[in-house]
């Protein structure tokens, strides 16, 4: 009888210790996730800064090449037209990603019924074109799988790019096209920054709650 009581209490002690270990593991996981997202955030901010600097210099170089009368703010089109690029906000309901997610829908044209394909393609591009994010541990977030759109930029996207540059003329310098690509990359980086910031704030909240719970 006493032996049974002793075994029962030792099992309960083991269960409590196991729960404590599990809790500790989860806390560490959250801290690592927070540090990962913070590192990604800083890396992306640096990448955005350098991409924008490159874009502005390429624009100045294009102005130097084509002339100030061909590249200036007075030529921007004020006619109403649909946006070539839009931002979509989706909500994830799973345990890990319980937060909104931003996705860039580049060069989507409602006339072509083209938006959904581009949404998937651009999600892949947004995830693959950004700087390589370092993950300190195996507790990194899993990127949701997509249905497999091709990663190559097709003629339609090239036509949309040319169409948006046409306000400066049809025959534009390669420097202006390079500037366009730089600003496009910067836009993708901005969306990535928004997503990483959301993750960072979410994991920061979780870590703070756990710390407060521990202190309490």
The site for another protein (CB under 8 A) is made up of: 53, 56-57, 60-61, 63-65, 67-70, 72, 74-79, 158, 162, 166-167, 169-175
Would the CA dihedral through 200, 205, 209, 212 be positive or negative? Answer: positive
Integer Rg of the chain from CA:
25
d(CA 104, CA 45): 18
d(CA 153, CA 146): 17
CB of 144 to another protein, least distance (A): 35
Give the angle 214-32-140 at the CA atoms, nearest 5°: 130
Quick one: 151 or 167, whose CB is closer to another protein?
167
CB of 62 to another protein, least distance (A): 10
Quick one: 1 or 68, whose CB is closer to another protein?
68
CB of 173 to another protein, least distance (A): 6
Whole-number Cα distances in Å, 171 to 24, 55, 128, 176: 62, 19, 31, 10
- DSSP conformation letters of 134-145: P--STTPPPPPP
Q: Which two tokens stand for residue 158?
A: 């090239």
Residue written as token pair 């989706």: 90
Quick one: 105 or 186, whose CB is closer to another protein?
186
CB of 25 to another protein, least distance (A): 47
CB of 83 to another protein, least distance (A): 17
Quick one: 76 or 89, whose CB is closer to another protein?
76
Would the CA dihedral through 143, 144, 147, 149 be positive or negative? Answer: negative
Quick one: 78 or 152, whose CB is closer to another protein?
78
Quick one: 56 or 139, whose CB is closer to another protein?
56
CB of 77 to another protein, least distance (A): 4
Beta bridge partners of 90: 101
Helix residue spans in the chain (DSSP H): 2-66, 115-129, 155-165, 174-215
């Amino acid at each position: 009888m006493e032996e049974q009581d002793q075994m029962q209490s030792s099992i309960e002690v083991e269960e409590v210790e196991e729960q404590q270990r599990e809790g500790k593991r989860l806390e560490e996981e959250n801290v690592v996730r927070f540090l990962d997202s913070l590192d990604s955030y800083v890396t992306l901010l640096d990448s955005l800064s350098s991409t924008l600097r490159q874009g502005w210099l390429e624009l100045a170089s294009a102005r130097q090449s084509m002339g100030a009368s061909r590249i200036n703010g007075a030529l921007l089109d004020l006619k109403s037209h649909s946006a070539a690029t839009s931002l979509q906000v989706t909500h994830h309901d799973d345990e890990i990603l319980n937060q909104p997610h931003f996705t860039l829908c580049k060069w989507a044209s409602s006339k072509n019924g083209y938006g959904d394909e581009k949404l998937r393609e651009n999600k892949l591009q947004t995830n693959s074109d950004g700087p390589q994010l370092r993950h300190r541990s195996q507790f990194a977030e899993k990127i949701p799988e997509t249905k497999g759109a091709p990663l190559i930029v097709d003629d339609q996207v090239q036509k949309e790019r040319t169409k948006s540059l046409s306000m400066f003329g049809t025959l534009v310098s390669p420097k202006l096209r390079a500037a366009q690509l730089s600003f496009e990359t910067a836009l993708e980086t901005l969306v990535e920054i928004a997503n990483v910031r959301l993750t960072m704030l979410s994991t920061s909240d979780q870590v703070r709650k756990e710390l407060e719970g521990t202190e309490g």
